[in-house]
Structure formats: C-alpha cells, structure tokens
Amino acid sequence: MKRPDESAINEAFQIYTEAGLRTELLLGFEGVNTGFTGNAIDDIVNICTVHPIREDTMAELLRKDHADPITLDLLLHGKYIKRVRYNNNDFYIRNFAVQ
C-alpha cells in the first residue's frame, strides 16, 4: 500500500463536495488556532491539513494576514504544500510526503 497522490485526494474532495456531500479532509493535526491568526504560514499549513484552499481564497488569506505573496512561494518551494488543478481551478493542498 502506498500513500495517495495529492491530486487524487483533491479530486475526491471536489467530487464529493459538488455532489452536495458535506466533505472534510483530515490529513493531520491542524493545530488549535485555525483561521486567520495573523501568521500566514501557520494559517495556510493548518487549513491545508483539513482541506484544499482554492487560489482566490489563498489570495484573500494572504491579504487578511497582511502577508507578502512570497509566503506562498516559500511554502511551495519548501514542499509543505502543493498546487493541484481540478475543474479549471488551482488548489493548494498539504504535501503528504512532508511529515
């Protein structure tokens, strides 16, 4: 058995959500302070642990946290999160290869 691909997990999440099913991904410990804490890195990692973040939502999160857009690049290049595409939209999801 091997771990699932991030794109497959995101696709399953989107299919269930579009079918009207209440869907939540629990991919690891999301921490005790989820939401907009003012620390964009923690916010992004915590939210991505539970469910994919759509690109427009990511931009809003960065704006609300007053974060430099480079924050997203740091998380992507550090392999903490991955960008995946589904239904012509980009999403960010936790990188399962990083523990």
According to the model, what pLDDT value does residue 11 have? 93
**CB 13: neighbour CB atoms within 10 A?**
19
Task: Say which residue, 12 or 28, is predicted with more confidence.
Answer: 12
According to the model, what pLDDT value does residue 34 have? 53
Per DSSP bridges, beta strands 53-54 and 81-86 are unpaired
- The residue type at 21: L
3-class state of residue 39 by DSSP: coil
- Is residue 64 packed enough to be buried (19+ CB in 10 Å), middle (13-18) or exposed (0-12)? middle
20-78 confidence digits (pLDDT tens): 999 888 776 444 445 677 889 988 988 888 888 999 989 988 988 899 989 999 999 99
Model pTM? 0.70
Residue 79 backbone class (left: φ over 0; alpha: ψ -120 to 50; beta: rest)? left
Angle at 46 between CA 50 and CA 61, to 5 degrees: 105
